[in-house]
Amino acid sequence: MLLVDTRTHDVLAQIGSADFWDKGINGQVDGTRSSRSPGSTLKPFVYALAIEQGIIHPLSVLADAPRSFGEYNPENFDRDFLGPLHASDALARSRNVPAVSLAAQLSHPNLYEFLRRADVPLPEPESHYGLALPLGGAEVTMQDLVRLYAALANNGELRPLRRTAHDPASTRGLRILSPEASFLTLQMLGNVPRPEMNCADAASAAPVFWKTGTSHGFRDAWSIGIFDHYVLAVWIGNFDGRANGAFVGRTAAAPLFFQIIDSLRANWPEPGRTLQPPPNLKRVKFCSVSGDLPGALCTDLVEGWFIPGISPIKTCEVHREVLVDVATGLRLATDDGTREIRRETYEFWPSDLLRLFERAGVARRSPPPFLLGTASELVARSGNSPRIVSPLPNSEILFASATAIPLRAKADADVRDVYWFAGKTFLGKCNAAEMLSWKSTPGDYELTALDDHGRSAWCNVRVR
Ligand SMILES: [Zn+2]
């Protein structure tokens, strides 16, 4: 374990192993300098970079869904998927898919470039780690992790650790994150609930901004975080790499982590540190359902942080007004004056997210179907056209006769089926949330995805 003062970067306590003299546990290995899989403890930096690059704000809605990234299919620790959730919850609950999905969207720096810049040794080229990097795919030392977390506490400035009074005190650090992204990431880490355990009364305790980590195959259990003016890291594992099913960050390392914090606070009391937001941050209202800026129809609003000029400024497209025929309860495309209508707000979710809500057992207020006989061109004009997400437009696909090409489109909430065409040839139809397998032959194709409201999208692909 390692305890560092975030003001001076002085190492206040360092315990390299459970017993220096015990050869049976390789007691003379210094665990704070050993390279180990960090599990999920690097995830906060994915979120920090995504916030800094304007990809998300803490209340953005992310999909926690089975998804494949090329050949990489990340699963969650509990092998379950929660559905759509706010970014801050996705981090607090350490969901894998949202973290990998965000990591895939990062650019300059991505997580690899960020770690290299922070002087974290990564011996292999970036392609070796790929998208497993945010899930603990590269080994790092506890000392490097502590330096990175200390930077979160220091407005994004990285400084070396000081072991002796002779080490130079560095006045200026290396900026690796913006003050806004550092603050918001810490805020999100403050939402991680303490594990249930018999130590100090958690409800009244001062805040702890922390994260757990469990390496693949249960070899490393981590707990690391910031409290008051300190960074504390706790690791539990075997130096010879032996796995143990009990090596889970939350149940093995977190109790010791909080025992240390509680005893430090009891014996070494000092005023708790309240996080001060950087001056550029604003509190604004978001639609609590979509996590986007509210439109006129959003009624359930929630306040959250926003970085002007950086955070995404998408307005809620989920809440839309629909004309409903009073007699039948069905939807109308226009008010032609012949029927009694009422205006109602419904939720329009993209088909993939709607499917996730269904799977998670969360009912959404989806719009009713159109009244039979509604003119199809009027229906087609309402709502959003599908968007082809697989294959990528203008892509070249290597022909392999054994495998089929997955066709997938993102359709609007009121779509049940998507019809696929190559040129004028009908390829088949599939449920809007699913994909169609296309057994293609080499050639150039214009692919069309047509939804059951007559809205379409097309793209060119070459199969060779
Ligand atoms: Zn809304």
Question: Domain extents for the chain?
Answer: 2-267, 279-314, 387-463
387-463: CATH number:
2.60.40.10
What is the Å distance from ligand 1's center to 204 Cα?
A: 35
Distance 212 CA to ligand 1 centre (A): 33
**Cα–ligand 1 centroid distance for 300 (angstroms):** 7
Distance 301 CA to ligand 1 centre (A): 8
Local structure of residue 24 (DSSP, 8 states): G
Main-chain dihedrals φ then ψ at residue 417, nearest 5 degrees? -125, 150
Dihedrals φ, ψ of 56, to 5°?
A: -140, 165
Q: For the chain, how far is it from start to end, CA to CA, in angstroms?
A: 55
Q: Say if residue 198's pLDDT is above 50.
A: no
Please work out, in degrees rounded to the nearest 5, the angle formed at the alpha carbon of residue 110 by the alpha carbons of 66 and 155.
110
What distance in angstroms lies between residue 130's CA and the mean position of ligand 1's atoms?
A: 35
Unique residue bearing structure tokens 């497993």: 132
Tokens of 35: 């390279």
Question: Does residue 96 register a pLDDT over 50?
Answer: yes
Are the C-beta atoms of residues 227 and 261 closer than 8 Å to each other?
yes
E-assigned strand segments in 279-386:
282-287, 301-306, 319-325, 331-332, 341-347
> Mean pLDDT across the chain, nearest whole number?
88
**Residue 419 Cα, ligand 1 centroid: separation in angstroms?**
29
Predicted confidence (pLDDT) at residue 145 exceeds the cutoff of 80 = yes
Distance 317 CA to ligand 1 centre (A): 7
Per-residue model confidence as pLDDT tens digits over 71-86: 566 666 666 667 788 9
Closest-CA residue to 373 (of 429, 331, 413, 321): 331
pLDDT: which is higher, 395 or 19: 19
pLDDT value for 199: 47
**May I ask the CATH architecture of the domain 2-267?**
3-Layer(aba) Sandwich (3.40)
User: Measured in angstroms, how far is the CA atom of residue 291 from the centroid of ligand 1?
Assistant: 8
* 114, 115, 116, 120 alpha-carbon torsion, rounded to 10°: 160
Looking at 191-200, 201-210, 345-354, 404-413, which range is the least confident one? Answer: 191-200
Residue 269: pLDDT band (50, 70, 90) is: confident
| Residue 228 alpha carbon to ligand 1 centre in Å | 37
Q: How many residues does the chain have?
A: 464
pLDDT tens column, 271-306: 766 788 999 999 999 999 999 999 999 999 999 999
Residue 321 alpha carbon to ligand 1 centre in Å: 11
* Fold match, 2-267 / 387-463: no
Q: pLDDT tier at 63 (50, 70, 90 boundaries)?
A: confident
Q: Write out the H or E segment, with its range, that includes residue 463.
A: strand 456-463
Nearest to 151 by CA among 181, 193, 126: 181
Q: How far is the CA of 156 from the centre of ligand 1 (A)?
A: 33
> What is the identity of the amino acid at 144?
D
pLDDT in tens, 371-429: 877 766 666 667 788 888 888 777 777 666 556 788 888 888 778 889 899 888 889 88
In this prediction, residue 51 carries a pLDDT of 98
Q: Residue 16 and residue 396: Cα distance in Å, rounded? A: 52
pLDDT band at 260 (very low <50, low <70, confident <90, very high): very high
Taking 3-state DSSP, the helix, strand and coil percentages for the chain, each rounded to the nearest 5, stand at 25, 25, 50
How does DSSP assign 204-233, residue by residue? GSPP-EEEEEE-TTS-EEEEEEEETTEEEE
Whole-number Å distance, alpha carbon 347 to ligand 1 midpoint, is 8
**What is the CA(366)–ligand 1 centre distance, in A?**
13
Look at 38-52, 125-139, 361-375 and tell me which has the smallest mean pLDDT: 361-375
**Spacing, Cα 319 to ligand 1 middle (Å):** 5
Least confident of 30-39, 180-189, 327-336: 327-336
> What value does the mean pLDDT take over residues 309-329?
92
**What separation in Å is there between the alpha carbon of 422 and the centre of ligand 1?**
36
Rounded to the nearest whole angstrom, what is the distance from the C-alpha of residue 247 to the centroid of ligand 1?
42
Residue 109, preceding peptide bond in cis (omega within 30° of 0):
yes
Distance from the alpha carbon of residue 289 to the mean position of ligand 1, in angstroms: 6
CA of 93 to the centre of ligand 1 (A): 24
How far is ligand 1, taken at its centre, from the CA of residue 284, in Å? 14
C-alpha 239 to ligand 1 mean position (Å): 51
Lowest mean pLDDT across 150-159, 186-195, 388-397, 444-453: 388-397
Is the pLDDT assigned to residue 244 strictly greater than 90? yes
Q: How far is the CA of 86 from the centre of ligand 1 (A)?
A: 14
Ligand 1 center to residue 367 CA distance, Å?
14
Return the pLDDT at 203. Answer: 52
Distance 60 CA to ligand 1 centre (A): 12
CA of 295 from ligand 1 middle (Å) equals 6
Give the distance (Å) from ligand 1 centre to CA of residue 372: 28
